[in-house]
Amino acid sequence: MVAKTLSRPKAATHWSCRSLAKEVGLSPATVHRIWQTYDLQPHRTTTFKFSRDPEFERKLADVVGLYLDPPEKALVLCVDEKSQIQALNRTQPLLPMRPGLPARMTHDYKRNGTTSLFAALEVASGKVHGHCFPQHTHMEFTGFLNSIRRKYPRRDIHLICDNYGTHKHPTVRQWFAANPRFHVHYTPTSASWLNLVERWFALITSQAIRRGSFDSVRSLERAINRYLAHWNATAKPFRWTKSARQIKRQIRRVMDIYETGH
């Protein structure tokens, strides 16, 4: 009955228990029980994007292979940049959490400039080599690659990168050609989720940046460097658990749902 009624076009894009119950002539408790029975969560949405890279399967197998079976005596690094991180300063001091009240901050803020964080995550250890730059062009990326070369001398290094133009600039390609112990592996287009450093970027954003208040770019960069030092002192690796075959099977299921509607 619920499915039949909601198949008709409606103006609503979000249903609560009460609004749906009124629409279909059931009690809110019944609607809630149906949602629980079939594990339906109408209050939540997620986004997705299918990669149309013609070499998707080869690149997927290449990157996942580095996670699950890394080359002996080589270092695997996940590299990317978190660009234009804003140094936002709230117009009033943060009000700390109190019993029954969450921490509160003003809605308005002052922008005090931006910085870009380049990071290289060691897959084996979880440690992160990071550096802030005022911009995020191929020049800064080349400078970051030079810092990686100095930090890890005499080791074969496999870099996992996405397809951002900076990572494929002719100057960067020349740099790779001049440094043959560096081997670059590109994730498929629209599949940056394959790069483990993105998981670390989510952590530093939620734990050190999003709720911060910074009166200058320098203070923002100090906070980033403190987080880096603390992270590396207690770092643990992220564990990649799914094979390329499992990922392809899961993507195929989602595509079937998208194409057929069920």
Mean pLDDT of 17-34: 89
Report the pLDDT value the prediction gives residue 2, as an integer from 0 to 100: 44
222 vs 232: CA distance, rounded Å: 15
If one compares 89 and 223, the residue with the highest pLDDT of the two is 223
The per-type count for the chain, helices as H runs and strands as E runs, is 9, 5
3-state secondary structure of 180: coil
Residues of the chain with pLDDT > 70, as a percent, come to 93
Residue 168 has pLDDT above 90, yes or no: yes
CATH superfamily, domain at 56-244: Ribonuclease H-like superfamily/Ribonuclease H (3.30.420.10)
Q: Provide the pLDDT confidence category of residue 3 given band limits of 50, 70 and 90.
A: very low
Q: Provide the pLDDT confidence category of residue 170 given band limits of 50, 70 and 90.
A: very high
Secondary structure (DSSP) of 28-57: HHHHHHHHHHTT--TT----------TTHH
If one compares 93 and 128, the residue with the highest pLDDT of the two is 128
If one compares 173 and 73, the residue with the highest pLDDT of the two is 173
**Looking at the chain, how many residues does it have?**
262
Query: Taking Cα atoms as reference points, which of 128, 140, 138 lies closest to residue 199?
Result: 128
Q: 174-213 pLDDT, tens per residue? A: 999 999 999 999 999 989 899 999 999 999 999 999 888 8
Report the pLDDT value the prediction gives residue 4, as an integer from 0 to 100: 45
Q: For the chain, what are the domain ranges?
A: 2-37, 56-244
> What pTM was computed for the model?
0.82
Report the pLDDT value the prediction gives residue 7, as an integer from 0 to 100: 45
Q: What average pLDDT is seen over the chain?
A: 89
Q: 247-258 pLDDT, tens per residue? A: 989 888 877 777
Residue 8 has pLDDT above 60, yes or no: no
What does R_g of the chain's alpha carbons equal in angstroms? Answer: 23
Query: Taking Cα atoms as reference points, which of 185, 242, 241 lies closest to residue 58?
Result: 185
219 vs 262: CA distance, rounded Å: 51
